[in-house]
């Protein structure tokens, strides 16, 4: 979908406002027949269906997304659990109601807890055969890697032929194969299955008390926080915007991240993949998800979000790495400025 000139200008402005923003894990697989019982997510990771997630195969297959993987990064044991991140290259969409392309840079964040429970965050941008972009940021869970169900959440242009994705109920079965470097996502329409009321024999996801839970939203700065000592500077290169336009959550615009460099208390590179998933509705917000790779090979999950002038970065890294201090600190972000091929950004310690 082509943005109007006004939106294009705003998108370009915000691109300069965005951040200069597991191989050892388990492969989530659908090879084994899933259980027919619903899965009730833990209250900290509701996945959009807190009353219970049905087996995807109980619905109707809508489309299949197949993506080759650039890499499967084993982050290691972080503050939340065992983290693996798959980064996809351009893939294909095939199905009776939707076909097209999966854009380069999709991210699959897989978290495995000590009790075997798996939680998934899947972020991808699709382009239909008629040139419309569709954004999907979805959450999933399962009692183990053999039965992970992802509740798909789509943002399609309100005026497009794909607008039905905004109102349906969809659950996916997704498979990440680190050995063959492929990811397959099969999306099923489960709207006709009726109430999500949970039967007595539902599979209920449990977590050990006292373990930090991964957040779904980005952190907001508390009143009185201000920039302290400079910690890190990054330069991020970007691809042209992918505009969804007006959809169910406002005017969505995506700016893909293609690389960059990190300097300061950490030196390394920005891993190609992920994006700033902007919402241009008033007040315009940015929400960037991406990775760093340090000079000594550690993978750091980065998220930077908020309104212009109030950006807050958060981090996730292996708890026994030299950079574990990132997990517990509070940080603030500068307003990004222009840089060759993208934007530049500085991160600071937060002080009161």
- One digit per residue, the tens of pLDDT, for the chain of length 352 reads 333 333 333 344 334 433 333 333 444 333 444 447 999 999 999 999 999 999 999 999 999 999 999 999 999 999 999 999 999 999 999 998 999 999 999 999 999 999 999 999 999 999 999 999 999 999 999 999 999 999 999 999 999 999 999 999 999 999 999 999 999 999 999 999 865 566 778 999 999 999 899 999 999 999 999 999 999 999 999 999 999 999 999 999 999 999 999 999 999 999 999 999 999 999 999 999 999 999 999 999 999 999 999 999 999 999 999 999 999 999 999 988 999 999 999 999 999 8
Place of tokens 């099923």: 188
Same structural domain for residues 154 and 244?
Answer: no
Asked if residue 69 is part of any domain, the answer here is yes
Place of tokens 């397959």: 184
**Nearest-5° Cα angle at 310, 308 to 316:** 115
Distance CA 98, CA 115 (A): 37
How many domains would you assign to the chain? 2
Same structural domain for residues 230 and 338?
Answer: yes
Same structural domain for residues 187 and 243?
Answer: no
CA atoms 85, 91, 94, 99: torsion sign? positive
Asked if residue 203 is part of any domain, the answer here is no
Asked if residue 2 is part of any domain, the answer here is no
Residues 6+ apart with CB under 8 A from 345: 18, 19, 20, 21, 233, 234, 235, 236, 304, 333, 334, 336, 337
Under 8 Å between Cβ of 332 and 309 = no
Asked if residue 65 is part of any domain, the answer here is yes
Distance CA 91, CA 329 (A): 37
Asked if residue 33 is part of any domain, the answer here is no
Same structural domain for residues 178 and 290?
Answer: no
pLDDT of residue 329: 95
pLDDT of residue 119: 98
Asked if residue 22 is part of any domain, the answer here is no
**Domain final residue pick, 139, 161, 193:** 193
Asked if residue 121 is part of any domain, the answer here is yes
Same structural domain for residues 181 and 220?
Answer: no
What domain range is 71 assigned to?
39-193
Residues 6+ apart with CB under 8 A from 277: 123, 135, 137, 252, 254, 286, 287, 288, 289
pLDDT of residue 336: 87
Same structural domain for residues 178 and 220?
Answer: no
Assign residue 58 the CATH number of its domain: 2.40.160.20
């Amino acid at each position: 979908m082509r943005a109007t000139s006004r939106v294009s200008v705003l998108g370009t402005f915000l691109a300069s406002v965005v951040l200069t923003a597991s191989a050892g894990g388990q492969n989530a697989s659908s090879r084994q027949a899933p259980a027919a019982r619903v899965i009730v997510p833990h209250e900290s990771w509701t996945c959009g269906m807190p009353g219970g997630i049905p087996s995807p195969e109980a619905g109707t297959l809508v489309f299949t997304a197949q993506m080759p993987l650039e890499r499967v990064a084993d982050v290691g044991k972080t503050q939340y659990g065992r983290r693996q991140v798959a980064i996809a290259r351009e893939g294909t969409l095939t199905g009776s109601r939707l076909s097209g392309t999966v854009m380069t840079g999709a991210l699959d964040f897989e978290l495995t807890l000590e009790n075997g429970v798996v939680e998934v965050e899947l972020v991808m941008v699709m382009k239909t055969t008629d040139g419309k972009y569709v954004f999907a940021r979805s959450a999933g869970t399962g009692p183990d890697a053999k039965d992970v169900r992802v509740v798909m959440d789509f943002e399609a242009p309100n005026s497009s032929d794909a607008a039905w994705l905004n109102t349906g109920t969809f659950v996916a079965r997704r498979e990440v194969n680190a050995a063959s470097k492929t990811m397959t996502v099969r999306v099923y329409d489960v709207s006709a299955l009726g109430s999500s009321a949970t039967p007595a024999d539902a599979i209920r996801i449990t977590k050990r008390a006292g373990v930090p839970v991964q957040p779904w939203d980005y952190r907001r700065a508390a009143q009185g926080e201000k920039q302290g000592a400079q910690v890190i500077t990054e330069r991020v290169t970007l691809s042209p915007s992918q505009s969804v336009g007006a959809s169910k959550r406002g005017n969505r615009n995506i700016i893909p991240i293609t690389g960059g460099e990190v300097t300061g208390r950490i030196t390394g590179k920005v891993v190609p993949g992920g994006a700033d998933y902007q919402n241009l509705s008033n007040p315009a917000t940015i929400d960037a998800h991406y990775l760093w790779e340090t000079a000594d090979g550690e993978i750091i999950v980065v998220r930077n979000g908020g309104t212009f002038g109030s950006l807050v970065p958060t981090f996730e890294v292996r708890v026994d790495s030299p950079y574990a201090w990132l997990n517990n600190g509070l940080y603030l972000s500068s307003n990004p400025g222009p840089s060759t091929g993208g934007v530049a950004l500085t991160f600071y310690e937060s002080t009161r």
